[in-house]
């Protein structure tokens, strides 16, 4: 019969606990993905978003935006990262409602203002998620994580810079920067929230 010391037994139990927690987390994630795939939720949401973009583009054209600028606007909104962003969807829906208002609709200013406000909210939500994660990490882990987060901020700035240069000199250059930054910040927030949930479950 194999003899196991108390220290080895503790280590084995810890490993089993970690593996069980990981499998449970992966299982819940798989169920969520399969449920959304089975119900067609992603396709329905994407179709609704693209319809909103098309509708808004038509209203922008009616309000005096040039055809070239409308096409650039659609190009920004069809960016896969932007398309999958809940916050971006909310901005488009709000802009569509603004365009229906009786008062004159200043398309470019309205789009930038709405997106900038949504970006500010997204940054605040990310900071809250980071605070939640900080409470679950030790000092050494947090120091290592801060390095990772700084690298991510550099990555986000690079994405924004690329979007800005793509539309450099155009009406929508700033809008493109804001949309990309908003979408990436939202994605990172969900990533941090998942880490928080996994840590809480692991720590019991």
Q: Of 195, 84, 181, 81, nearest to 129 (Cα)?
A: 195
Residue-number span of the structural domain to which 178 is assigned:
40-203
In a shared domain, residues 26 and 94 = no
In a shared domain, residues 131 and 194 = yes
Work out how many domains the chain is built from and give that number. Answer: 2
Task: Enter the tokens of residue 74.
Answer: 């659609």
In a shared domain, residues 44 and 97 = yes
Q: How many CB atoms lie within 10 A of CB 5?
A: 8
In a shared domain, residues 35 and 50 = no
Confidence grade of residue 28 (pLDDT, cut at 50, 70, 90): very low
The answer to whether the CB of 73 falls within 8 A of the CB of 99 is: no
Residue 97 is given by DSSP the state: H
In a shared domain, residues 30 and 47 = no
Per-residue pLDDT, averaged over 139-156, amounts to 96
In a shared domain, residues 18 and 104 = no
Confidence grade of residue 99 (pLDDT, cut at 50, 70, 90): low
In a shared domain, residues 33 and 127 = no
Confidence grade of residue 126 (pLDDT, cut at 50, 70, 90): very high
In a shared domain, residues 51 and 143 = yes
Q: What is the mean pLDDT of the chain?
A: 76
In a shared domain, residues 77 and 160 = yes
In a shared domain, residues 181 and 111 = yes
pTM above 0.85, yes or no: no
d(CA 92, CA 82): 11
In a shared domain, residues 125 and 189 = yes
In a shared domain, residues 185 and 134 = yes
């Amino acid at each position: 019969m194999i003899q196991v010391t108390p220290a080895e037994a503790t280590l084995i139990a810890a490993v089993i606990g970690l593996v069980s927690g990981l499998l449970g987390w992966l299982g819940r994630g798989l169920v969520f993905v399969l449920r959304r795939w089975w119900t067609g939720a992603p396709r329905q949401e994407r179709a609704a978003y693209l319809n909103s973009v098309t509708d808004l583009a038509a209203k922008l054209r009616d309000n005096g935006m040039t055809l070239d600028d409308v096409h650039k606007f659609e190009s920004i909104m069809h960016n896969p990262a932007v398309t999958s962003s809940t916050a971006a969807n909310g901005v488009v829906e709000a802009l569509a409602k603004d365009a229906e208002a009786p008062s004159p609709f200043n398309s470019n200013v309205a789009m930038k203002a709405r997106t900038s406000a949504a970006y500010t909210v997204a940054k605040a939500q990310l900071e809250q998620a980071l605070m939640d994660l900080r409470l679950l990490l030790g000092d050494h882990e947090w120091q290592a994580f801060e390095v990772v987060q700084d690298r991510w901020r550099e990555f986000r700035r690079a994405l924004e810079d690329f979007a800005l240069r793509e539309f450099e000199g155009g009406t929508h250059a700033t809008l493109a920067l804001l949309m990309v930054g908003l979408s990436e910040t939202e994605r990172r927030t969900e990533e941090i929230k998942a880490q928080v949930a996994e840590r809480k479950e692991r720590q019991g």
